[in-house]
């Protein structure tokens, strides 16, 4: 067994090849994901504006993927799924150095997104749904009313929200007219979906040749670690995770770092073998001091890119490692009959995370942790102490079933989208209008080890409460 101490943790008690051989791709031309931008403005929400008056001006970014989706009776419906993010021209009122993107309150209170049939002459409002971290964090509590919490959060608007999900069903793929527009009520601009819907593809499904889903990890770009170190880290990480059953990696990388990443011999081998795809991410202009502000968008883009594929994704950073509590266990065995993950919902599992350290107290100089990964030994065995209490979790999920993720949390869509037509004046129901919480994995099943000091020096060790790891 290899797991952190069991006391004082505050943890819940219950709870084939990459999709493309292209090794470096753009986020807007890979896996069928398109992005649209609609500029506009809203009057500031009074509850959050304080003494500030005026409007919130910016661009609504819409990321969308369309597919022919099997209906189970031999037919297909044309479907689209995506998410929305509003980019303000000015920094938000709650700006801080380590700001991570959130939708401003006006998205929850004022956004009315419409789908218009250019040929049919009708339009319907599109339901934009949000996952609520407050509810997800407490879902493991015995007797917790998850549905009541969601209803309460919807009634509490306005609030700073995570990414809103769009889930559309256009009806039978063989007969639908693809000439649809998306527009925001009161804004003069719109975008056409016709070209994307015309270029629809087929959704992947399980086959006899590949009965288990691919198991992939998705990494956001590392803004605070240079590309050379990141490349070595990804190579070491793959050597560790491959025996656990992970098939490959999707790595988001800034354009300035691509050449250094591709220069690493080990990464070149992984790319040649189809086990590593670099997604060259350069979607948003930088604002001084906004470190990794688009992390939520990057990770949700990774999930959306795999919508319709027979895969499972572990969303982690390059310096985070999946640790089965039972030595030599694999994810497939953990998911199989009698495995510790088998009783949990397969759509989304939250895996607890801890910082790990080689020493309980700071030492001078710190050990050269990076050197431990050069040999053939099991490097995590050298770590004896972990942060206590644990850190927010990371997610192992089915991209066909979840909301956009908010770095540490998501939710499961349990409904079905209403077919878009002019039969009603009510907003089009989303498949995510009804939802369920993600499951929590117990630490005696698996956890995530964050080896931050391997690439960042001895930061974060001083003054940190730790517990001893059972080796």
DSSP string across 288-306: TT-TTTTHHHHHHHHHHHT
Q: Measured in whole angstroms, how far is the alpha carbon of residue 266 from the centre of its chain?
A: 26
315 pLDDT above the threshold of 80: yes
Q: Identify any residues that bridge with 185 across adjacent strands, giving them in sequence order.
A: none
The share of the chain scoring above pLDDT 70, in percent, equals 83
User: What is the rounded end-to-end Cα distance, in angstroms, of the chain?
Assistant: 6
Is the model's pLDDT at 428 over the cut of 80?
yes
Determine which of 46-55, 381-390, 441-450 has the lowest per-residue pLDDT on average.
Answer: 46-55
> 356, 358, 422, 418: which is closest to 386 by C-alpha?
356
d(CA 268, CA 287): 32
Would you state the pLDDT for residue 7?
42
Taking the C-alpha atoms of residue 141 and residue 435, their distance in angstroms, rounded to an integer, is: 17
Q: What is the pLDDT of residue 460?
A: 52
Query: What's the CA gap between 40 and 24, in Å, rounded?
Result: 33
Tokens for 156, please give them.
Answer: 């509490």
Contact 324, 433 (CB under 8 A): no
Q: Is the pLDDT of residue 398 over 50?
A: yes
Q: Which two tokens stand for residue 59?
A: 């661009």
> How does pLDDT run across 145-181, given as a tens digit for each residue?
999 999 999 888 767 888 999 999 999 999 999 999 9
SS3 126: strand
Higher pLDDT, 394 or 256: 394
d(CA 466, CA 451): 14
Q: Region 78-107: what's the mean pLDDT?
A: 81
pLDDT of residue 379: 78
Structure-block tokens of residue 162? 């995570």
- Length of the chain, in residues: 471
The number of CA neighbours under 13 Å toward the Cβ of 87 is: 18
User: Residue 62 has which token pair?
Assistant: 């819409």
pLDDT tens per residue across span 96-146: 655 678 898 899 889 999 999 998 889 999 999 998 988 998 988 889 999
**Spatial separation of the C-alpha atoms in residues 392 and 421, rounded to whole Å:** 42
């Amino acid at each position: 067994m290899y797991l952190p101490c069991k006391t004082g943790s505050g943890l819940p008690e219950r709870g084939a090849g990459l999709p493309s051989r292209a090794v470096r791709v753009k986020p807007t031309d890979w896996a069928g994901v398109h992005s649209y931008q609609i500029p506009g403005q809203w009057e500031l929400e009074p509850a959050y504006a304080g003494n500030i008056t005026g409007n919130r001006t910016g661009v609504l970014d819409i990321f969308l993927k369309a597919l022919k989706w099997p209906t189970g009776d031999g037919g297909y419906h044309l479907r689209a799924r995506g998410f929305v993010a509003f980019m303000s021209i000015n920094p938000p009122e709650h700006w801080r150095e380590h700001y991570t993107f959130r939708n401003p309150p006006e998205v929850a209170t004022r956004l009315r997104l419409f789908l218009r049939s250019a040929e049919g002459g009708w339009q319907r409002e599109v339901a934009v749904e949000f996952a609520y971290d407050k509810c997800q964090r407490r879902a493991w509590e015995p007797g917790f009313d998850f549905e009541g919490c969601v209803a309460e959060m919807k009634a509490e608007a306005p609030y700073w929200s995570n990414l809103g999900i769009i889930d559309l069903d256009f009806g039978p793929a063989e007969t639908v007219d693809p000439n649809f527009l998306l527009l925001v009520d009161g804004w003069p601009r719109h975008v056409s979906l016709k070209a994307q819907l015309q270029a629809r593809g087929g959704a992947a499904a399980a086959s006899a040749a590949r009965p288990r889903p691919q198991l992939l990890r998705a990494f956001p770009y590392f803004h605070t670690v240079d590309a050379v170190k990141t490349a070595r880290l990804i190579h070491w990480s793959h050597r560790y995770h491959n025996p656990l059953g992970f098939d490959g990696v999707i790595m988001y990388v800034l354009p300035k770092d691509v050449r250094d990443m591709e220069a690493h011999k080990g990464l070149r081998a992984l790319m040649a073998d189809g086990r590593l795809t670099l997604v060259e991410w350069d979607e948003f202009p930088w604002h001084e001091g906004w470190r990794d502000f688009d992390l939520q968008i990057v990770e949700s883009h990774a999930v959306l890119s795999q919508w319709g594929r027979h895969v499972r994704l572990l969303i982690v950073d390059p310096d985070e490692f999946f640790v089965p509590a039972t030595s030599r266990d694999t994810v497939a065995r953990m998911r199989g009959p009698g495995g510790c993950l088998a009783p949990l919902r397969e759509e989304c599992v939250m895996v607890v995370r801890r910082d790990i350290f080689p020493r309980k107290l700071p030492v001078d100089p710190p050990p050269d942790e990076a050197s431990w990964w050069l040999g053939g030994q099991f490097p995590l065995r050298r770590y004896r102490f972990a942060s206590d209490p644990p850190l927010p979790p990371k997610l192992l999920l089915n991209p066909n079933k979840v909301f956009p993720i908010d770095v540490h949390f998501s939710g499961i869509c349990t409904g079905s989208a209403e077919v878009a037509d002019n039969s009603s004046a009510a907003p089009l129901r989303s498949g995510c209008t009804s939802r369920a919480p993600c499951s929590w994995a117990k630490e005696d099943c698996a956890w995530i080890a964050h080896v931050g000091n391997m690439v960042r020096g001895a930061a974060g060790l001083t003054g940190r409460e730790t517990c001893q790891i059972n080796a």
